[in-house]
């Protein structure tokens, strides 16, 4: 993560009894700062075949297989969640966000549109609060994701109303590329002002900031692009906050990492906020 080293918070943040953890899945986590071996994979020509390169590729293949195992385990746990518990946790998580000073003070943010079939933490109440009941004194500019292709390309486009959303081929709501007047929607990557907050989905998380997505790489790709833009513009990096049901929170170290994975700043769980990075600890 650009800007700050991520620390595990274990003493000041006690694990609530309302959060349970999956058994630790044996993995071989990769350091967030890539080793020379991993860096050699990134720079290695595709035509070069060496014994070292082969071992490095085997290591990455092993990590991807470990991620697949973790994804399968968490998906089963989410599918088994009692519907009433899910509703309770959705309400608790969204209320925590809406009441948080760091949310109230933000002026620009990116937030995902939850998909029920993917068992994502609901964001409808948060989006509704921003779009349908805006506070003129604290009006927020909202950007939401639009998937462009199958190559991990995703844009965050500005919307002003829930009616700006349409269902895509997978029946997931996303903004049309143009508004009702036929004008191109503003892309956060071309915006003149920075955003303060990113509200992120994910499949699994731990309290060291590790986030496991669904395998498409869309968010990691977008987050790195926005971090590069913020650095270019000399903007402060937005707070990256993920929303998580109880079964999605794993033991520290259970989520393997590759050099392309982006760490989060904080988690919002049914029991409250878990700040992780020094930036989050300072702001939360």
Query: DSSP states of 128-144 as a string?
Result: HHHHTS--TTS--EEEE
Task: Provide the β-strand partners of residue 267.
Answer: 242, 274
Q: Evaluate the CA torsion angle 232, 238, 252, 205 in order and state its sign.
A: negative
- Please tell me the predicted confidence (pLDDT) of residue 124: 96
Please name the residue that has the structure tokens 């009441």: 99
Chain mean pLDDT for the chain: 83
Tens digits of residue pLDDT in 9-38: 333 333 333 333 333 433 333 333 333 332
What does the chain come to in residues?
Answer: 284
Residue 239 Cα to chain centre, angstroms: 11
Tokens of residue 245, six digits: 């049901």
- Nearest Cα to Cα of residue 198 among 176, 175, 163, 222: 222
Pairing between β-strand 197-200 and β-strand 239-243 as defined by DSSP bridges: parallel
Report the distance separating Cα 152 and Cα 32, nearest Å: 21
Note the pLDDT of residue 58: 87
Strands 197-200 and 108-111: parallel
Between β-strands 211-212 and 204-205, what pairing exists: parallel, antiparallel or unpaired? antiparallel
**In this predicted model, what pLDDT tens digit does every residue of 224-255 receive, in sequence order?**
999 999 999 999 999 999 999 999 999 998 99
pLDDT, position 51: 57
Considering only CA atoms, which of 259, 118, 279 is closest in space to residue 197? 279
pLDDT value, residue 52:
64
pLDDT at 55: 62
**Per-10-residue mean pLDDT, the chain, length 284:** 39 34 36 32 36 76 94 97 98 98 96 95 96 79 94 94 86 89 94 97 97 96 97 97 98 92 97 97 94
What SS3 class is residue 248?
Answer: helix
Closest Cα to residue 60, out of 32, 38, 45, 43?
38
Q: Domains in the chain, please, with CATH?
A: 83-283 (3.40.50.10420)
Confidence at residue 2, expressed as pLDDT on a 0 to 100 scale? 40
Kindly report the pTM of this predicted structure. Answer: 0.80
CB atoms within 10 A of CB 263: 19
Strand partners for 184: 178
pLDDT tens-digit series, residues 192-211: 999 999 999 999 999 999 99
């Amino acid at each position: 993560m650009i800007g700050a080293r991520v620390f595990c918070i274990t003493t000041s943040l006690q694990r609530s009894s309302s959060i349970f953890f999956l058994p630790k899945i044996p993995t071989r986590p990769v350091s967030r700062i890539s080793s020379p071996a991993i860096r050699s994979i990134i720079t290695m020509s595709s035509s070069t075949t060496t014994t070292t390169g082969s071992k490095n590729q085997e290591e990455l293949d092993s990590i991807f297989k470990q991620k697949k195992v973790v994804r399968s385990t968490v998906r089963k746990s989410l599918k088994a969640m009692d519907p009433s518990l899910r509703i309770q946790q959705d309400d608790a998580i969204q209320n925590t966000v809406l009441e948080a000073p760091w949310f109230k003070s933000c002026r620009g943010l990116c937030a995902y549109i939850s998909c029920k079939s993917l068992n994502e933490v609901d964001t409808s109440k948060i989006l509704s609060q921003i779009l349908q009941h805006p506070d003129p004194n604290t009006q927020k500019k909202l950007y939401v994701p639009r998937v462009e292709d199958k190559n991990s390309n995703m844009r965050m486009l500005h919307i002003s109303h829930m009616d700006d959303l349409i269902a895509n081929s997978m029946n997931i709501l996303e903004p049309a590329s143009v508004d009702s007047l036929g004008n191109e929607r503003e892309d956060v990557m071309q915006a003149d002002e920075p955003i303060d907050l990113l509200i992120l989905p994910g499949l699994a998380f731990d309290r060291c900031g590790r986030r496991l997505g669904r395998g498409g790489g869309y968010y990691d790709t977008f987050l790195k692009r926005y971090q590069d833009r913020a650095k270019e513009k000399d903007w402060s990096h937005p707070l990256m906050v993920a929303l998580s049901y109880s079964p999605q929170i794993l033991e520290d170290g259970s989520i393997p990492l590759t050099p392309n994975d982006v760490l989060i700043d904080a988690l919002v769980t049914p029991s409250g906020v878990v700040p992780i990075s020094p930036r989050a600890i300072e702001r939360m």
